[in-house]
Structure 1
Amino acid sequence: MTDVVVIGGGQAGLAAGYYLRRHKLDFVILDAHAAPGGAWQHAWPSLRLFSPAQYSSLPGRMMPAPAEGGYPSAADTVAYLTDYERRYDLPVVRPVRVDAVRRDGDHLRVESAGGTWRARTVISATGTWSHPYVPYYPGMRDFAGRQLHTVDYRGPEPFAGKRVVVVGGANSGAQVLAEVSTFADATWVTLRPPRLLPDELDGRALFGLATSRLRGGAVADLGDIVAVPSVREARERGALKAEPMFARLTETGVTWADGSALDCDAIIWCCTGFRPALGHLTPLKLRATNGLIPVDGTQARGEPRLHLLGYGDWTGPASATLIGASRTARDMVARIVTETSD
């Protein structure tokens, strides 16, 4: 038996581990991946964070600035998380894919093919990357070309000379469109007109907006896409013009409500979202009708021994980001310590 079992060894799980260690709790981190780095090790190579390294760090250890300057890449982030895990000698066991969490008297039982753990508290930090979401559009099964989500995208080279539709107007959509358009005849399609932040602003402004929970504030009015270098370059050559969302797919492409059509070879679904990976918590029967688990802060309302970390704003402001997960983890562990000492 242990005090805490953390499920997930990505950025949120490591942030939780840092504070659990500081409070001298007995804990283990179970990670489904074979190597450190969390979901970042599966991102496309050119992906860039949209905040500087010093603003994309976990507690206690600043992320080094990239040698070439600019914003950290996915590889930089993997290297940082790998170093962080080793630096603090966090007790990560991998690869362990948790199948179920069940009530077991005064404890929770965490079950996997690799073993079973009993804990006073369980922190679920499995993230969303393993559950990509693509909205349904009429004709999706008719389209004869290639369809892929961001999780399947590895770079622009396979699309050289092809006609590609990139769907999604946030940061990932803008970055993918920027590089695909250098290899392919690319069309950007978004639900609403994309809005780039002024060049002097980046993810720090977006994080401040999320944590203050402003609505209609000055930063929100300025935009929500960070103009990283690749996006700026695409803007300068006029590649960032976006079309409204199409109405349906056809065998050869897409059509809009007004009857206009575009033939294409591939559709990349960017920024269409992810869903939290919560299947291991099914035995606890905590989900609401919207598929999420109701929480007070990070603590599940229907099971106070369970905390959820890093899934997005519903489990802490901006908690799906490096710095957001860190701040939420700090408050979460303080709450766990207080409740377990009562």
Structure 2
Amino acid sequence: MEHIDVAVIGGGQSGLATAHALLRRGLRPVVLEASDHAAGSWPHYYDSLTLFSPARYNSLPGMPFPGADRDRYPHRDEVVTYLTAYADRLDAEIRTGCRVTAVRRTGDGFTAELEGGRLSARAVVAASGTFGRPHRPALPGLEEFTGQVLHAADYRSPAAFSGRRVVVVGAGNSAVQIAAELAETAHVTLATRGPVKFAAQRILGRDLHFWTVRTGLDTAPLGRFLARPPAQPVLDDGRYRAALAAGRPDRRALFTGAVGPKLLWPDGQREEVDAIVLATGYRPDLPYLAPLHGALDDEGTPRHREGLATAVPGLAFVGLEWQRSLSSNSLRGVGRDADRVARRLAAHLARR
């Protein structure tokens, strides 16, 4: 069986940043990426996705995000190109088409079981993100609804929904962005449990991220004090608030049930709907860690402190929402968490 220093599971922004940090610590990581491309989930997001932070804040360690306009908001495809180039420049072994099915404890190390083989590692970093585990909440009547139901993970563009009646469920950035886009060619309702909360994209002529970085909020270790990640407001330059005010899309309280193709609204109205898009977020996608006792709680959420597993020495996480700070699962912040995890893993391995 092959033996390696550190198995980094996931070849997206978190895995690439982790590999970079481990190399700086003198370790030789092997990145195991299930897809055929080292860019994580970015190639699979909806076509119009645009970052809510300017290009200047979206760099991984050692390679600035390209482009002359540092204040533009990069498109999805720009991020894919950037991550691909970053992977090409990284002096680490990246194995694509290499899905990890289970990680088990073997002595004081680990065995990673792959589709078609296995390898042993002195340490493991789980950096597989959340896209593979879309959150589908138990909504009233959803099981009885006979129209189309899809998660935002499966949404690409409004072309397939032209002229149709669509309900988008969610109150976050993606929900509002998708609903506003669909409303240009379809009759769309944004269904939420409460009012949509907005935050100004620009304050005193500067992007919000300028202020979070300048004040230290972006890097403050608040994650250790949070029982669960707080809901984030929708960042808006005014267009989304105006779209909702104009009823394109309109906003309603969440439906209360369904009968066949019809949704039941709180005011008693029954309305036929063609499709429901669940923009309801994601959860950590870590089924391969189930054999490691104490790595995950009953809901599959990592047990960790700032990225280090609390019950499994040698196991770490990178890219979790609020892993340590507000920016932990973003391009601008994942490098800091990766460096912290790499430093601690290197110290752990040096003691063995």
Using structure 2 for the length normalisation, give the TM-score. Answer: 0.87
1:130-149 matched pairs, under 5 angstroms: 130-149=132-151
TM superposition shift of 1:19: 0.8
Number of equivalent positions: 336
1:284 to 2:282 alignment: no
For 1:26, the equivalent position in structure 2 comes to 28
Please give the secondary structure, in 2, of the residue aligned with 1:197.
Answer: strand
Per-residue deviation, residues 136-189 of structure 1 (Å, max 9, x unmatched)? 123223222111100110101111111111111110011101110001011111
Unmatched 5+ residue regions in structure 1? none
Distance 1:274 1:41, change over 3 A: same
| Whole-Å separation in 1 of the counterparts to 2:265 and 2:241 | 28
**Distance in 2, Cα, partners of 1:81 & 1:326:** 13
Please tell me whether the aligned partners of residues 309 and 315 of structure 1 are also in contact (alpha carbons under 8 angstroms): no
Contact 1:145-1:266 within 8 A present in 2 as well: yes
Deviation at 1:126, TM superposition (A): 0.9
Deviation for aligned residue 1:232: 6.6
What's the Cα RMSD here? 2.6
Indicate the residue corresponding to 2:191 in structure 1.
Answer: 189
Summarize the Cα distance change of 1:35–1:290 in structure 2 as closer, same or farther, 3 Å threshold: closer
Give distance in 1, aligned partners of 2:299 and 2:139: 21
Alignment of 1:143-162 (within 5 A): 143-162=145-164
Counterparts of 1:85-124 in structure 2, within 5 Å, are: 85-124=87-126
Inter-partner Cα distance in structure 2 for 1:240 and 1:199: 20
Unaligned 5+ residue runs, structure 2?
A: none
* Correspondent of 1:300 among 297, 303, 309: 309
Q: Residue 227 of structure 1 aligns with which residue? A: 236
1:64 corresponds to: 66
**Counterpart residue number, 2:256:** 247
- Which amino acid is 1:328 matched to? D
CA–CA distance in structure 2, aligned partners of residues 65 and 236 of structure 1: 35
Q: Secondary structure, in 3 states, of the residue corresponding to 2:56?
A: helix
Q: Deviations over 1:49-99 (max 9, x none)?
A: 110111111111111248898311111111000000112233100110001
Say if 1:175 and 1:230, in contact at 8 Å, map to a contact too: no
Give the TM-score normalised by the residue count of structure 1. Answer: 0.90
- For 1:77, the equivalent position in structure 2 comes to 79
Letter in 2 for 1:246: F
Bigger mean CA offset, 306-315 vs 322-331: 306-315
Equivalent of 1:330 in 311, 336, 339: 339
Read off the aligned partner of 2:287 and give its amino acid letter: G
SS at match of 1:313: coil
| Matched residue SS, 2:235 | coil
Between Structure 1 and Structure 2, the one with more helix by share is 1
SS in 2 for 1:283: coil
